Amino acid sequence: MSERTENVVCTFCGCLCDDLVVEHEEGRIVKVLKACANGQGHFREYDPSPRLPRLEGRDVSWDEAYSAAGEILRSSRSPLIYGLSSAVTEAQRRAVELADRLGAVVDSTSSVCHGPTGLAMQGVGEPTCTLGEVRNRADLLLFWGCNPLVSHPRHFARYSTAKGRLTPEGRKSRTLIVVDVRPTAATKAADIFVQVEQGRDYEVLTALRALVQGKAMERPSVGGVAREALVDLAERFKNCRYGVAFMGMGLTMTRGRDLNVAELFSLVSDLNDYTRFSVIPMRGHGNVSGADQVTTWQCGFPFAVSFARGYPQYGPGEFTAVDFIARGDADAAVILASDPGAHFPRKAAERLREIPTIVIDPAESLSASQATLWLPTGVAGIDTAGSSYRMDGVALRLRPFLKAQRPSDEEVLVRLIEEVIR
């Protein structure tokens, strides 16, 4: 007899869709409704059955695993705690605590996704809003360097083209503008597609700021975009009721990085002199937004923090994981709910394989398969509980619907802390 759980939260991406229906039978998920392809994969491919930790290629008991982990951490002089973004807030809090008590460096996957966005925010501020304001109020949507149909597939339906208080006709109540360097599924769904030359976002944004401020533009085009198109955009921005800009890796990973984002944030700030405008970074992993929050509230800085001197030091470019590892400064690593083995540049990924690593992850990721010690944990929102922060900072409770057969990330980290304090 299968059971049905409603309003399940999916933690695959930063949308945190919380309307899924999951059917499960004898501790297995048999059907997932309303989820996108990513969400389906998140629920359907997870096998909740108990698993033993794996130490240097062999299965070991949990006690043996913990003492091996303690050994690794206690003998490290410069450990790195990395990842955090797919773990629940409770686990992230423990991860930062572990870093504090160890004198380690702690960094989240923010540093290779929206880290530059954080730097931009620290430079110029960030006028933002929750996704419900997008649903209820926004009549102009600007997507810059992001492709929600691939990275956040239900974003349109649930938020930016949904019907709301002032947007009774949903998609028809809005103008949808997409800026990208190449045509994508999102550019095809747009009313206006603005194709920018790769690496020229900053120039285009600066031109838009100038036009919004009423300055004349003499050049016929900037960054591959014609003057007329830019003038048209500036006018649309100034004359909408409530505009919202969404931005993604197209800005943060491209030449200029945080400067690109700061220019967009400044443009959005400027527009509030004329109308209302907000910006929402399209955060990727289910709780990467929470990783920023937790690290910030516990030590004052959102990522790239070293506790080596006993107090928190902030160092993007220095304590960010790719730099810290590639420079050879990390001599051991705890990797929580992320996969640098698959997603870091080769030099950093290879260096990671040369040092002892402890990977805490429900799935056997590339990092887990290469780890000294893999600790297989449960998945929050399936068989363990916790909270996650949506891309707009709204925290949701993840309620388990299956009985836990594996420890949670939080339980594992508490044990690691005990090993370290001992």
Partner 1 sequence: MIRIRGGKVYDPANGVNGEIRDVWIDGGKVVAAPAVAPADVEIIEAEGMIVFPGGVDMHTHVAGSKENVGRKLRPEDHRDHLRSRKGVLRSGSGYTVPSTFLSGYLYAEMGYTTVMEAASAPLLARHAHEELDDLPMVDKGLLVTMGNNQFIMDCIAKGEKERLRHYVSWLLEATRSYAIKIVNPGGVENWKWGRNVAALDDEVIGFEGVTPRKILEGLAEASRDLGLPHGIHVHGLNLGQPRSARTTVETVAGLDGRGSHLCHLQFLSYQGKEEGHAFRSGARSVAEAVKTVRDLTFDVGQVVFGQATTMTSDGPLEFALHQMTGHKWVNDDVEAESGGGVLPVLYDRKSRIGAEQWMTGLELFLLVDDPWRMALTTDHPNGGPFFCYPQVIRLLMDRDYRAEVLASLPPKALEGSLLPDLMREYDLFEIAIITRAAPARILGLTEKGHLGVGADGDVAIYDRVNVDGTACRCSRFQSCRRALSRVRHLVKGGRWVVRDGQIVEEVKGRTFYVAPGFDASLEDHLKDYFERTYTVAFDNYAMVDEELPLGEVIPCRRRNGSF
Partner 2 sequence: MALTLTLVTGRTLAQAAAMHKGKTTDHYAAVTRQAEINGEDLAELGLAEGDEATVRTKEGEVRVTLKVSDLPRGMLFLPMGPCANVLIGVDTEGTGMPPFKGLSVEVTP
Q: Tell which positions 308-327 bind partner 2, by CB under 8 A.
A: 316-317, 320-323, 326
Provide the token pair at 342. Answer: 């698959």
Q: What are the residues whose beta carbons fall under 8 Å from the beta carbon of 384, sequence distance 6 or more?
A: 88, 377, 378, 400, 404, 408, 409, 410
CB closer to partner 1 out of 162 and 360: 162
Nearer to partner 1, 28 or 236 (CB): 236
Residues 162-191 that bind partner 2 (CB under 8 A): 181-183
- Does 357 engage in binding with partner 2 (CB under 8 A)? no
Closest residue by Cα to residue 341 from 314, 316, 361, 327: 361
Q: What Rg do the C-alpha atoms of the chain give, in angstroms?
A: 22
Nearest to 179 by CA among 195, 156, 198, 201: 195
- When CB distances are held under 5 to 8 angstroms depending on the partner's kind, the choice from partner 2, partner 1, none that residue 242 binds is partner 1
Binding flags for partner 2, 194-233, as an x/- string (CB under 8 A): -x--xx----------------------------------
Q: Does 384 bind partner 2 (CB under 8 A)?
A: no
In order of 96, 171, 172, the CA distances from 168 in angstroms are 44, 9, 9
Select the span of 215-223, 328-336, 346-354, 401-409 touching partner 2 (CB under 8 A).
346-354
User: Is residue 349 a contact point for partner 2 (CB under 8 A)?
Assistant: yes
- Rounded Cα distance between 336 and 409, Å, is 8
SS3 141: strand
Residue 182 partner contact from partner 2, partner 1, none using kind-dependent CB cut-offs of 5 to 8 Å = partner 2
Based on the shown chain and the rule CB under 8 A, indicate whether residue 38 belongs to the binding site for partner 2.
Answer: yes
Q: Which long-range contacts (CB under 8 A, 24 or more apart) does 188-191 make?
A: 189/149, 189/156, 190/143
Residue 369 binds partner 2 (CB under 8 A): yes
Residues 171 and 150: their CA atoms lie apart, in Å, by 19
Q: CB of 242: closest distance to partner 2 in angstroms?
A: 28
Which residues would be at the binding site for partner 2 (CB under 8 A)?
A: 37-38, 41-42, 44-45, 107, 111-112, 115-116, 119, 147, 150-151, 153, 181-183, 195, 198-199, 249-250, 252-255, 257-258, 303-304, 316-317, 320-323, 326, 339, 341-349, 363-366, 369
